[in-house]
Amino acid sequence: MAPGIMVRMTQSTVDALHALAREYLPQEIAERWIGLLRPGLRLEKAEGAGSVVGRLGGLPGLPEGEEWPVWEGHGPLAFVASLDCAVLPSGALDIAMPTDGTLAFFYFDGQLDDGCAVVAPDEPDSWAGARVLYIPAGVPVAERTAPEGIQPYPEVPLTARVETTAPHLWHPVVYREFAPMPDDHPVWDEDFQEALGEHFEGTEHRIGGHAHPVQGEVETEVAHGALGNPPWNDPRIKEEALRWVLLAQFDTDHDADMMWGDCGALYWLIRPEDLAECRFDRAMFTWQCC
C-alpha cells in the first residue's frame, strides 16, 4: 500500500455477515458458508478527506499511440471509469491486482444507436463492445476529447474501503461446498435471502470479491460464453464458472448519470492467471438489469 494512503477498513461487514449466517443458518452450515466469504473493495464517492483511488466518468488519459476503443461497425465506446492501481488498497484482496499503472473501462452504452446493439458473453461478435485498457506506470498520457456522438459522463471521484463479500446463493462455489443440495437447503431459506439482500443494499461499485448480481450469477453467464454457448445443462459450465473472478463491477449511479438498462450493473470478469499477467484483453464482460 502506498505511504500515506488511509483505507477505511472496519470489521463491520465481517461481523455483520458472520452474525447474519449464525442467526439464520444451522451452526455447521453457517460456518461452512462463512468460509466462502471473500474480501472486496467497495468504491464510493470520495468526499472530505477520503483518498481518491479513481473516478467514474469524465475523460480518459490515454497514451499517444492508443486509439480510443471502437466496436467496429458500431462506433466508439463510452468511457466508464478509471482506477489508479498504485493507490488502490488491493493488498487486502485475494486476487493479484497490478500494484501500479491505470485501468480504464469502456463500454458501448447505446448513445449512438439508442441501445439497439447489445454486448453479451454469448455473442462473440459483440465482445469488442466492452474493453479494459491497462496503462503501465510511467507511460505518458494525455486527456482525450470524446469522439463525436459520445457525451462523457459527469466525473465522480472514488474512494475505496475493504468490504467482505458473499457469493450469490446459486453460485457454483455454493453448490461445490454443500452438494448435494435439496430444494429446501438452509442457504436458500427465504428469510436468509432477504437478510442478505438488505445487507448489500445501495450502490455497489466493487473491485474483487464476489460479484453482486442483479439477476443470476454472472460467473455462469461468462463461463457459458467462454465455452462457446453449450447447452445450459452442460456440467462444464459450473466447472468453468469457478475459473473466473470479478475484476470490477460498476452499478447504476445517479451522481455520474449512469443508468445501465433498468437500474442494472456492468461486470468485468477475468481468470486469475490472466490477471496475474495483466492480460486484461482476456477479461470478459456481462451486464444485468432489473
User: What region does 275 belong to: left with phi over 0, alpha with psi -120 to 50, or beta?
Assistant: alpha
What is the average pLDDT across 274-281? Answer: 97
Q: Report the pLDDT value the prediction gives residue 48, as an integer from 0 to 100.
A: 77
pTM of the model: 0.93
What would the CATH number be for the domain defined by 13-288? 2.30.320.10
**Residue 200 pLDDT grade (very low, low, confident, very high; cuts 50, 70, 90):** confident
Domain assignments of the chain as residue spans, ordered by start:
13-288
Sheet holding 78-84, edge to edge: 130-135, 102-107, 78-84, 54-56, 156-165, 38-45, 205-207, 245-251, 265-270, 284-288
pLDDT of 119-155, one tens digit each?
A: 999 999 999 999 999 999 999 999 999 999 999 999 9
Computed over every residue of the chain, the mean pLDDT equals 93
CB 54 within 8 A of CB 84: yes
* CA separation for the pair 153, 175 (Å, rounded): 39
Measure the CA–CA gap between 116 and 106, rounded to whole angstroms. 17
Range with lowest mean pLDDT among 95-99, 199-203, 238-242: 199-203
- Cα separation, 220 vs 239, in Å, equals 9
- pLDDT of 14 > 60? The answer is yes
User: Residue 11: what pLDDT?
Assistant: 47
For residue 85, pLDDT beyond 80? yes
Q: Would the pLDDT of 264 be above 60?
A: yes
**Cα-to-chain-centroid distance, residue 111:** 22
What pLDDT was estimated at residue 193? 94
